[in-house]
Chain A
Amino acid sequence: MKSHNFDEPSMSASGEAAPNADPDREFRRDLLELIPFLRAFSRSLCGDRELADDLAQEALAKAWQSRETFRAGSNLKAWLFTILRNQFYSDRRRAWRQAPWDDSAAERVPIARGEQTWAVQLSDTARALRGLPAEQREALILVGAGGFSYEDAAKISNCAVGTVKSRVARARKALSAALEGNGPLPNEPRPAGGDATNEIMAQLDRLAPLDAPDSSTGTDAKRDIT
């Protein structure tokens, strides 16, 4: 898997890998490699498999159409995630205009059995994640599972680094409490959890010990990595 970092210019995306390299071809190849991660991030936002894949495909198409605006040397994965995230919230705002949206109320709506079969497959971790506020879940996925630095996650989420750190810290505490049986889990079937939990927690351990002070600044900084 090709690595894309802010500090390490993408040879293929910049077209510098070889004099005769086709930038479109290289860009397409990089997009292809990132599809699994894009799908995963989309699923973490949407929950629903089909909706998530629709959203990921939409983001993929937009990324291709906007490839000329991609800044060579920047983080393609972060750029792609930003496109998807913007599309997700744009869709949600559109839905809000059609009907009032209450996130907390939506979390409490029981899921009809058979209506969303994907829910049956949710592990304890996934169920606990779904119980988190959307912004905390997003921060946890980006940093804990997606492998983004706090700085990159802040750019994707269009907020301050301190805000991401604060969200991750709160999410981690809530997730730990839920998985230890001290917090609420959405009322769904409970297949066994496992490696995903350990992986997320290990990643967070490396980045931010649970007892680390809350470094949230509380201020959002507008950034545009596109």
Chain B
Amino acid sequence: MYDEVVQEPVPEDFLELLKQIDESTGKKDVAS
């Protein structure tokens, strides 16, 4: 179960969250 989830692609929601974090907290670009 654990390993199967680890192998799953990261849902877009998570990447979107990181983008929102960037926009709300940093004025700088921390996108990878």
How many residues in B have their beta carbons less than 8 Å from beta carbons of A? Answer: 21
B-side contacts of A35, CB under 8 Å: 10, 14
Who on chain A is nearest to B7 by CB? A36
Q: A24-B26, A24-B30, A53-B11 are in contact. Are A36 and B5 (CB under 8 A)?
A: yes
Report if A177 contacts B (CB, 8 A): no
Who on chain A is nearest to B14 by CB? A35
Taken together as a complex, chains A and B put the C-alpha atoms of A157 and B1 apart, in Å, by: 20
Interface string of B1-32 (1 = CB under 8 A from A): 11111111011011001100110011010101
Q: Is the CB of A196 within 8 A of B13?
A: no
Question: In residues 186-206 of chain A, which contact B (Cβ within 8 Å)?
Answer: 195-196, 199-200
Binds B, one of A40-48, A90-98, A107-115, A216-224: A40-48
Taken together as a complex, chains A and B put the C-alpha atoms of A215 and B21 apart, in Å, by: 44
Q: Is the CB of A36 within 8 A of B2?
A: no
Interface residues of chain A, those whose CB is within 8 Å of chain B, are 22, 24-25, 28-29, 31-32, 35-37, 39-41, 43-44, 53, 56-57, 60-61, 64-65, 122-123, 125-126, 129, 141, 145-146, 195-196, 199-200
